[in-house]
Amino acid sequence: MTTSRNPLDGWQVNRGDIRMVGQNLLRPECILAEPDGTLWTADARGGVMRIRPDGTQTLIAQQTGTSDVPALHDAKQLVMGGTLPNGLAFDREGDIVIANFGTDAIELMTRDGASRTLYDHIDGKPLGKANFVLTDSRGRIWFTVTTRRVPWTRSINEKSADGYVGLIDEYGIRIVADGFVGTNEIRLDATEEWLYVVETNARRISRLRVQDDGSLTGREIYGPQDLGGFPDGFAFDVYGNLWITLILNERLIALTPHGEVLTLLDDGDPEAIARYEAHYQAGTTTPELMGACRGTLAPMMASITFGGPDLHTVYLGSLGGTSLASFRSPVAGLPLAHWTKRGGA
């Protein structure tokens, strides 16, 4: 563990330094960054939006029909069927692996939009609510399924421990860890020794030790038992801080290597959060209550990505935003597996 001074000590995001990137985005839940400055965001129209360093945008769609796309502030965004790209990752060829929250599948899309389903079943049963994907340095695909409940929103009020982590490698697809409460994003540490798992509905981070064959052992809670909010996305910086978005609470926090929780940005509505919290405890939440918690910078703050050539630029993904809130960090982000494999395209 590092003993030097933490670059985040005493630091917070200055709202005046935040700039907005992109326009007319639709549910930019997940963001991928490349070394040349190109960004790729998930898009509810069924595909991804490519944002080049000069700001020009191109929607790369899996399909052409958009008649079922809800309005930007429609609560149906949270529960709609049809294609709904959620988590994104680059594979070794630079194509995009998609966890599709609408089709309940893991998909692969080329950079020109050709798309195919990799898996929508596991062990002979439907995959469940596919949430996130992550590739490692060996080219393996890790993925999460939030719940097997139908409709998936039942899992929030029931706090169901039926989410899981899966792995796709040369042997096919398999479950490597089960029993999570609202499985969301996953990340590997710098040495790929530990896999970290967001359990949104339990309001905590868990981690498991990665074995050479991809099996996971030694599960433990990382940090507080309760983060005081609903974690959704997260990312490591090179110091070892784990930056975490708290969706609905609309806060960006950091969990230091010493277990301290730092608030870096707070864009929440205390009254709306209190109402949601009461219903969460009672098991009576609704999409409308979630939607009422939207902040102003990254409404329904869902993810965090480090980018820019030096990995010091932070981008915030969201469920309700039409652009990306961005600012500079005092510490670089930990590069993902694709960072040194391929530049922009």
Domain ranges for the chain: 22-328
pTM (two decimals): 0.93
Residues of the chain with pLDDT under 70: 1-3, 63-81, 341-345
Measured CA to CA, the distance from residue 28 to residue 323 in angstroms comes to 8
**Half-sphere exposure of residue 145: CA atoms within 13 angstroms, side-chain side:** 33
What pLDDT, on a 0 to 100 scale, did the predictor assign at position 75? 40
The fold for domain 22-328 equals: Neuraminidase (2.120.10)
Separation in Å, CA 165 to CA 132, 147, 174, 231, 323: 9, 11, 9, 17, 30
Measured CA to CA, the distance from residue 61 to residue 65 in angstroms comes to 9
Phi and psi, residue 288, nearest 5°: -65, -40
What pLDDT, on a 0 to 100 scale, did the predictor assign at position 340? 79
pLDDT per residue as tens digits for the range 180-194:
999 999 999 999 999
Longest dimension (CA), the chain: 55
3-state secondary structure labels for all residues of the chain? CCCCCCCCCCCCCCHHHCEEECCCCCCCCCEEECCCCCEEEEECCCEEEEECCCCCEEEEECCCCCCCCCCCCCHHHHCCCCCCEEEEEECCCCCEEEEECCCCEEEEECCCCCEEEEECEECCEECCCEEEEEECCCCCEEEEECCCCCCCCHHHHHCCCCEEEEEEECCEEEEEEEEECCEEEEEECCCCCEEEEEEHHHCEEEEEEECCCCCEEEEEEECCCCCCCEEEEEEEECCCCEEEEEECCCEEEEECCCCCEEEEEECCCHHHHHHHHHHHHHCCCCHHHHHCCCCCCCCCEEEEEEECCCCCEEEEEECCCCCEEEEECCCCECCCCCCCCCCCC
What pLDDT, on a 0 to 100 scale, did the predictor assign at position 3? 66
The sign one gets for the Cα dihedral 335, 337, 338, 341 is: positive
Q: Which long-range contacts (CB under 8 A, 24 or more apart) does 262-267 make?
A: 262/8, 263/12, 264/8, 264/11, 264/12, 264/13, 265/12, 265/13, 265/15, 265/297, 267/295, 267/296, 267/297, 267/298, 267/301
